[in-house]
Structure 1
């Protein structure tokens, strides 16, 4: 008898179960992938809590996926069974103006594997062959699980342009904020200040190379940050994306500076001091996901040792304990929680 194909089903943060589904078969130009390691993303926990503006419950997660090719469908020639791969989960139309210009990360019809489409937090799944990248032979599966979460900060940092010698503020020291810190350091930022409410997260940011880390609720935060940076920040990365963090970003950034919104904002309006934005010529820009170029850069960063995986990966759980993995990912002491698939 064939072994059942297990897949995680999230109805709520308190109702995460394993469903058994038929083993899928790869169609034309598709791969059948056997999962080995899957990350739990902040968007996964937000969705499980019912707070994500673009993911409806119930859903079947798994977009930070490392796996092994189990079979290839008709028309696939570049991925033999046994090839280790990582998933690039943005599923785009290829026809809209954004896709045609190469910015398929903001496709007008974008869907995300593991968010709107059942994902890879399962024993086996299928996906188009053009949505996977090879894992370098020297990279472990656990480190490969950081490629997707790192690609979003890499994309955000690239939006800031040349960072060599410039000053940066990063709001929020969660997984994305810490990886923005790492990407900005690698891009040549001269000084970087990180803010967060928790002592442990600020301490981790300093260990990962922040010039200093300040309490996000400190009175006079802007003045303290300016003192660390030698003046207002050239670029602020808002990895929190709430009313308070946006207000802080405007106070922190220099005239003519740039604010890049990396975190997923809450639904509804967010007040912004447009008088200050206009008077200081502040540029506010959003950033969404990544492209293949960002994946390649992420792979290079991890391979080079620029990312301290031991500081980022703080817990692992087996697939059958997915509920515990989600609960752990909500705990502030954790950065990146991984799920490993038994038998791999």
Structure 2
């Protein structure tokens, strides 16, 4: 019989199963990787709920992945079996104007491993060797699983320019919001306010270094944030990306300030106060994923001890209970949920 592996199949939040498929064979330039840890992303739960604008159901998740090289095909021999690796999941064409300029994260033909293609929530998977990074010595699997989610805030912070001595508001204290807080602080932000609806997440933001954490639904949210920051925020990172958060961002940001949209918005139009955007010369900019440079920065931040993994990773499930991992991920009290494959995590 043909050897088979397990792979998670998501049809909906209520229909997450394990399928059995043949062991994949790496082609030229590819690696065969055995998964050790994979994260459940907010994009995964949005997709499972049918709310993600760019992920169609059913899909096979797993883009926040850590693994061990099982085999290297021809053209990928610079990796060897046993190498610990992190996946950089953006699959780009290399030919379009964006790729040629180094901005392959917005490739014209971008596909994301584990979103538009089968991912790493499985026993074994294949991936082009140029889409992986070696795990730095001394970095645990738990920490390595945070490189991909941290790279998105690192990229967003870089889009905002020099944050040295500037004031920042972060809307949303989920995994991306909390990691944006860390990335902004490490980039030199002087004062940071983080908003969220939940007391527990605001408390977590304060433990991770926020200077203030007002409730996102407070009638005087803008006044509270401005008081904590000494005035309007120089930069607002919207990690929620909904109509209400964009309205708050426009009210929170300073004249001539910068709003960076980090969260994935729902399909369709979102009202924006263009009169205020024009009158106050507000810059609104989207940010998508990351590049290799952002990965290297994220790895350096984690290696430096800037990220407290125990505050970010709040639950771990085995591959066999992937449905439980997704259910936990939509629990607002959770932050980052990980799935492990065959064996305990390193500590």
Alignment TM-score, normalising by the size of structure 2? 0.98
- The answer for the alignment partner of 2:18 in structure 1 is 18
Unmatched 5+ residue regions in structure 2? none
* C-alpha contact 2:103 2:291 (8 A) present in aligned 1: yes
Q: Equivalents in 2 of 1:343, 1:298: separation in Å? A: 26
2:238 and 2:253 map into 1 onto residues whose CA distance is 11
- Structure 1, unmatched stretches of 5+, are none
Distance 1:176 1:27 in 2: 34
User: What is the aligned residue count?
Assistant: 344
**Matched residue, 1:185:** 185
Question: Does 1:155 pair with 2:178?
Answer: no
Aligned-residue RMSD, C-alpha: 0.9
**1:127-183 deviations in Å (ceiling 9; x for gaps):** 000000000121011110000000000000001111111000000000000000000
- 1:139 is matched with 139
Deviation track 1:193-219 (CA, whole Å, cap 9, x = no partner) reads: 000000000000000000010100101
Kindly provide the CA deviation profile for residues 69-98 of structure 1, in whole angstroms up to 9, marking residues without a partner as x: 000111112100000000000000000000
Mapped contact 2:31–2:126 kept (Cα < 8 A): yes
1:221 Cα deviation from its structure 2 partner: 1.0
The secondary structure found in structure 2 opposite 1:212 is: coil
Partner of 2:235: 235
Residue 223 of structure 1: how far off its partner (Å): 1.1
Alpha-carbon deviations, 1:288-336, whole Å to 9, x = none? 0000000000000000000010000000000000000000000011100
Q: How is 1:87-166 mapped onto 2 (pairs within 5 angstroms)? A: 87-166=87-166
Q: Following TM superposition, by how much is the alpha carbon of 1:2 offset from its aligned partner in structure 2, in angstroms?
A: 6.8
Distance 1:10 1:337 in 2: 16
**Counterparts of 1:132 and 1:75 in 2: how far apart (Å)?**
14
Any conservation in 1 of the 2:2–2:22 contact (CA below 8 Å)? no
> What is residue 260 of structure 1 aligned with on the other side?
260
* Displacement over 2 Å in runs of 4+: 1-4
Partner of 1:337: 337
Q: Classify 1:141/1:2 alpha carbon distance in 2 versus 1 (closer, same or farther; 3 Å).
A: farther
Tell me the residue number matched to 1:218.
218
1:76-95 matched pairs, under 5 angstroms = 76-95=76-95
Structure 1 partner of 2:40: 40
- Structure 1 residue 53, shift from structure 2 partner: 0.4
Q: Is the 8 A contact 2:3 2:22 kept in 1?
A: no
Give the match's secondary structure for 1:19.
strand
Distance between the aligned counterparts of 2:131 and 2:81, measured in 1? 16
* Alpha-carbon distance in 2 for matches of 1:303, 1:343: 23
The Cα of 1:3 is off from its aligned counterpart by 5.3
Q: Distance in 2 between matches of 1:63 and 1:199?
A: 30
For residue 4 of structure 1, report the CA deviation from its aligned partner.
2.8
Structure 2 SS opposite 1:213 = coil
> How far off is 1:102 after superposition?
0.3
**Aligned partners of 1:98, 1:110: CA distance in 2, in Å?**
10
Single out whichever of 206-215 and 73-82 deviates more from structure 2. Answer: 73-82
Distance 2:210 2:2 in 1: 51
